[in-house]
Amino acid sequence: MSNVTTTPRLRAFGSREVGPGRPVYVTGEIGINHNGELDNALALIDIAADAGCDAVKFQKRTPEICTPRDQWDIERDTPWGRMTYIDYRHRVEFGEDEYRAIDAHCRERGIDWFASPWDTEAVAFLEKFDVPAHKVASASLTDDELLRALRATGRSVILSTGMSTPRQIRHAVEVLGSDNIVLCHATSTYPAKAEELNLRVIHTLQAEFPNVPIGYSGHETGLQTTLAAVALGATFVERHITLDRAMWGSDQAASVEPQGLARLVRDIRTIEHSLGDGVKKVYESELGPMKKLRRVPGVVAEAEAAVLAADEAADEAAASARV
């Protein structure tokens, strides 16, 4: 499948466009916060849909490929008892039946879903579904084989840039191609410290990749800094979401709970409306206060009024000549 757009800085996410001048595409990252329970995943989809998110995102791995062999037999404590790490990876991984249920539920709720594949087999698995895009996790940015497999799908690809140097990012963009990607600034700490978010990198990426939409994948606590990313121009936003931050799992503490997610989406939409088009103008709503409060109209206002009157007279003369 190929998602093709004609405007350089817009990307197709299914029927939606992502980029400057379009509403911020807000994604609730479920990841593995479902803890291997389909009911948890469906509940998180409902929370994201109710909050007004555009999509939810999962993570898809082939455990035998993504888990180093020397870690397979290491035992660890889990909510399901003590088990080997490879058994744990299988325990939290969804198969085709679960993703069919997820796909159906998302269609019912009117929300997109996609995932971060961590290996090429996971890419092939996700291609069984009509997902709007694929996501490259920051940890996978250096995996050229995976990047080439994602490029070959023809779908838009979101590339997170946490834990990566500028040179690594440039190389990944070269492998993926710049015409169908969204770049996401990110700091890969869970949770990330405010002083390490470095949100001005959004502007750095905008300057270096002028034809690529820039987004933000946040792993911080709180909502303010994600809203700041939108004000700085992020066109795609992703935050981990959870039913309860006290739940078991490494991503839960850096995740947003239901009420916070609703506030985040609401405030992103308010910021979108408030940013405007950058063209300074006098609004009709200002005319009353201007008349009441401005004692001296000023020479510029008098000149502008004269030009306006002349333009109106010329329009009237032209209209009379046509009669």
pLDDT tens string 107-143: 999 999 999 999 999 999 999 999 999 999 999 999 9
Q: Is residue 107 part of a domain?
A: yes
Choice among 70-84, 198-212, 217-231 with the minimum mean pLDDT: 70-84
What sign results for the dihedral spanned by CA atoms 248, 253, 258, 261?
negative
pLDDT above 90 (res 320): no
Q: Is residue 165 part of a domain?
A: yes
Residue 112 in contact with residue 55, Cβ under 8 Å?
yes
Question: Which of 115 and 319 is assigned the larger pLDDT?
Answer: 115
The arithmetic mean of pLDDT across residues 273-288, rounded, is 93
Range of the domain at 300: 284-322
pLDDT confidence of 3, banded at 50, 70, 90? very low
Q: Is residue 248 part of a domain?
A: yes
Count up the domains in the chain and report the number. Answer: 2
Predicted local distance difference test score (pLDDT) of residue 307: 66
Distances in whole angstroms, Cα of residue 254 to Cα of each of 27, 42, 89, 188, 203: 15, 20, 21, 11, 24
> Scanning the structure block, which residue is given the tokens 């009117």?
110
Looking at the structure, do residues 245 and 310 belong to the same domain, yes or no? no
pLDDT confidence of 5, banded at 50, 70, 90? very low
Cis-peptide into 191, omega within 30 deg = yes
Predicted local distance difference test score (pLDDT) of residue 24: 98
Q: Is residue 1 part of a domain?
A: no
Looking at the structure, do residues 191 and 43 belong to the same domain, yes or no? yes
Predicted local distance difference test score (pLDDT) of residue 4: 42
Looking at the structure, do residues 211 and 313 belong to the same domain, yes or no? no
Predicted local distance difference test score (pLDDT) of residue 7: 55
Looking at the structure, do residues 206 and 299 belong to the same domain, yes or no? no
Q: Is residue 289 part of a domain?
A: yes
What sign results for the dihedral spanned by CA atoms 21, 210, 29, 126?
positive
Residues 6+ apart with CB under 8 A from 13: 3, 25, 54, 55, 112, 132, 133, 156
Greatest alpha-carbon span in the chain? 91
Instruction: Give the tens place of pLDDT for each residue, 91-113.
Output: 999 999 999 999 999 999 999 99
Looking at the structure, do residues 149 and 298 belong to the same domain, yes or no? no
> In which element (H, E) is residue 169 found?
helix 166-176
Looking at the structure, do residues 111 and 130 belong to the same domain, yes or no? yes
Burial 250-263 (b: 16+ CB within 10 A, else e): ebbebbbebebbbe
Predicted local distance difference test score (pLDDT) of residue 299: 84
Q: Is residue 79 part of a domain?
A: yes
Q: Is residue 266 part of a domain?
A: yes
pLDDT above 60 (res 6): no
Q: What's 151's domain CATH number? A: 3.20.20.70
Burial 125-142 (b: 16+ CB within 10 A, else e): bbbeeebbbbbbbbebbe
Looking at the structure, do residues 137 and 170 belong to the same domain, yes or no? yes
Looking at the structure, do residues 189 and 303 belong to the same domain, yes or no? no
Looking at the structure, do residues 244 and 305 belong to the same domain, yes or no? no
pLDDT above 70 (res 262): yes
Instruction: From 13, 4, 2, select the one nearest 182 (Cα to Cα).
Output: 13
The arithmetic mean of pLDDT across residues 201-208, rounded, is 98
Predicted local distance difference test score (pLDDT) of residue 26: 98
Question: Which of 250 and 70 is assigned the larger pLDDT?
Answer: 70
pLDDT above 90 (res 248): no
The arithmetic mean of pLDDT across residues 307-322, rounded, is 71
Looking at the structure, do residues 43 and 153 belong to the same domain, yes or no? yes
Looking at the structure, do residues 80 and 205 belong to the same domain, yes or no? yes
Predicted local distance difference test score (pLDDT) of residue 323: 63
Looking at the structure, do residues 188 and 139 belong to the same domain, yes or no? yes
Question: Which of 316 and 276 is assigned the larger pLDDT?
Answer: 276
Q: Is residue 24 part of a domain?
A: yes
